[in-house]
Amino acid sequence: MTLIFKFIYLAIASLIFINVSCKTNASKTSVIKPTICIVGGTPSTTDILNFISDSLKAKYNFISFNRPGFGDAKYEETTEDLIYKLAKNAGLKEHDYGVIGISGGGPIAMLLTSKFKLKHCGVISGMVSRDEYFKFADAAITKDLFTNVLTGFDGFKAAILKFPNLDQIAKQAGTESEEMFIKASYNDLNYVVSESLYNAINKDIYVDWWHGENDVNVPFKSAELFLKNYKNATLNVIPNASHDIDSVVYIQKLIDYWETK
């Protein structure tokens, strides 16, 4: 298994949770529950909502959205305005309760917190901006992946086409074809290291961030360096943990903590 394949495979197999259209779990009751948006890594679909516990769903309205090309979402170039539109269509409103981003969904969660002025922002094993990532990329198994992303689509496609079982991976991601999976993955990964994304994040937002100390997809030191730019961010170390942790456990931890504030 190549390093690049391992990264995307883990994103599918261990983040198995996220994917717009407009998928929510709001019950048919008059009780208005606080809304929490869940944003996963590449590929991102609303399927993540299937892994949220019933006990949490009883208390909160969980929403998510498919990013371009995944699930039933139309493919188009990802921009901040598009992310805002997808989140709004999924049901996110200004001053909602919170958002939790996983892996590449981390900076997008921070973006949504900034735009929608959300009360809480949580990140689990989040991706970081380009400079902070490459500062420690020699310790990351994803270095070749993001190097290929930055060289352009053709180089990225050539690398992805070497993956075994690519058709199965594309099907799991809800894409219409292998070609669309490659195109959508490139678009998504290129966006999560784009300058425009990080420039649009408010440096004053409050962020609760959990990161494995042995993460080799996004090294802990990269997260540590990145969060120095955010004075209201709290970095929590997950001892002896890698990137493919059980995110459901940390979604619960984040919400438990928010409930005490």
Mind listing the pLDDT tens digit for each residue in 124-140? 999 999 999 999 999 99
- Rounded average pLDDT over 233-244: 95
**161-169 CB contacts, 8 Å cutoff, 24+ apart:** 162/2, 162/5, 163/2, 163/4, 163/5, 163/8, 164/1, 164/5, 169/8, 169/9, 169/12
- Rounded average pLDDT over 195-211: 98
Distance CA 240, CA 137 (A): 19
Beta bridge partner(s), residue 123:
101, 209
Q: How confident is the model at residue 244 (pLDDT cuts 50, 70, 90)?
A: confident
Q: How confident is the model at residue 4 (pLDDT cuts 50, 70, 90)?
A: very low
Q: What is the pLDDT of residue 167?
A: 87
pLDDT value at 22 more than 60: no
pLDDT value at 185 more than 70: yes
Distance CA 136, CA 93 (A): 36
Q: What is the pLDDT of residue 31?
A: 79
Question: What's the sign of the alpha-carbon dihedral 47, 50, 51, 53?
Answer: positive
Parent domain of 132: 3-260
Q: What pTM did the predictor assign?
A: 0.88
Q: What is the pLDDT of residue 24?
A: 45
Distances (CA, A) of 45 to 64, 97, 125, 160, 256: 8, 21, 18, 20, 25
Q: What is the pLDDT of residue 260?
A: 95
Q: What is the pLDDT of residue 93?
A: 98
Q: How confident is the model at residue 30 (pLDDT cuts 50, 70, 90)?
A: low
Beta bridge partner(s), residue 164:
none
pLDDT digits (tens, 9 = 90+) for 142-182: 999 999 999 999 999 998 898 888 888 888 888 989 999 99
Identify the residue with better confidence: 25 or 177. 177
Alpha helices, H only, the chain: 3-14, 54-57, 80-90, 105-116, 130-135, 143-151, 153-160, 166-172, 178-192, 195-199, 220-227, 247-260
Distances (CA, A) of 151 to 159, 171, 186: 12, 26, 11
Q: What is the pLDDT of residue 8?
A: 45
CB 223 within 8 A of CB 135: no
Distance CA 21, CA 82 (A): 13
- Rounded average pLDDT over 96-105: 98
pLDDT value at 89 more than 70: yes
- Rounded average pLDDT over 218-222: 98
**CATH number of the domain within which 184 lies:** 3.40.50.1820
Q: How confident is the model at residue 19 (pLDDT cuts 50, 70, 90)?
A: very low
Q: Report the mean per-residue pLDDT for the chain.
A: 89
Number of domains in the chain: 1
pLDDT value at 207 more than 50: yes
Q: How confident is the model at residue 80 (pLDDT cuts 50, 70, 90)?
A: very high
Distance CA 122, CA 105 (A): 10
Q: What is the pLDDT of residue 250?
A: 97
**C-alpha angle 205-85-194 in degrees, rounded to nearest 5:** 60
- Rounded average pLDDT over 181-185: 96
